[in-house]
């Protein structure tokens, strides 16, 4: 999820950076975490709206405290937030139905590296009594990031497109007829 000071949304390629890191069939790391939500904060490319100054002030203060991580034991959910090094671009926050392109691959590489780094926060949030092998999980993520870094841009693009088709199929299956 991409977050700006006054909104949030998805991106045709960046939204799949976490899925790229996990891979198609990740091994089990335990039962303590079922879901990891990632919030990629970027600066808004548009000028600040005149009435939203307080939102921007709070956003800037929050970004200074990142990366942030929270683990919710009962719902088995981890949340991670980080301030991305991506340059603000209008195309990052506006809806675009076109498929990912080769131009998106460098942005995705930046974000999955930032995600891999932010995931280190899980190490401090998981207790030894939680059923989750943090060391194995983080090692797996680092190995996947290295594998993706070694892959060609076209290979990463193909993976992004496959993930998007799978997501569209999943969503279409949930729509009432």
Name the CA radius of gyration of the chain, rounded.
17
* pLDDT tens per residue, range 107-161: 889 999 999 999 999 999 999 999 999 999 999 999 999 999 999 999 999 998 8
The pLDDT of residue 167: 81
Q: Where are the domains of the chain?
A: 2-174
Give the strand order in the sheet containing 35-41: 7-9, 2-4, 35-41, 77-83, 68-72
The pLDDT of residue 56: 86
The pLDDT of residue 101: 80
The pLDDT of residue 68: 93
* pLDDT tens per residue, range 72-98: 999 999 999 999 988 766 666 666 667
Query: Which of the residue ranges 4-13, 33-42, 48-57, 61-70 would you say has the lowest mean pLDDT?
Result: 4-13
Backbone φ and ψ of 157, nearest 5° = -60, -45
Its pTM stands at: 0.83
The pLDDT of residue 94: 64
DSSP three-state, residue 96: coil
Q: Give 9's strand partners.
A: 2
Q: Cα dist. 54→3, 42, 50, 61, 90 in Å?
A: 16, 17, 10, 11, 22
DSSP three-state, residue 137: helix
């Amino acid at each position: 999820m991409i977050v700006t000071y006054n909104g949030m949304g998805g991106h045709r390629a960046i939204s799949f950076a976490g899925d790229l890191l996990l891979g198609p069939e990740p091994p089990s790391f335990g039962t303590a975490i079922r879901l990891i939500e990632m919030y990629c904060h970027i600066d808004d490319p548009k000028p600040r709206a005149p009435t939203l100054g307080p939102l921007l002030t709070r956003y800037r203060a929050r970004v200074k405290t990142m990366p942030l991580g929270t683990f919710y034991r009962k719902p088995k959910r981890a949340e991670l937030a980080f301030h991305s090094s991506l340059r603000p671009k209008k195309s990052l926050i506006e809806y675009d139905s076109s498929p990912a392109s080769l131009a998106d691959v460098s942005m995705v590489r930046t974000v999955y590296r930032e995600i891999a780094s932010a995931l280190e926060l899980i190490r401090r949030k998981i207790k030894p009594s939680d059923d989750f092998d943090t060391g194995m999980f983080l090692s797996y993520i680092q190995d996947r990031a290295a594998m993706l870094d070694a892959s060609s841009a076209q290979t990463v693009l193909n993976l992004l497109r496959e993930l998007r088709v799978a997501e569209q199929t999943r969503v279409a299956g949930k729509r009432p007829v």
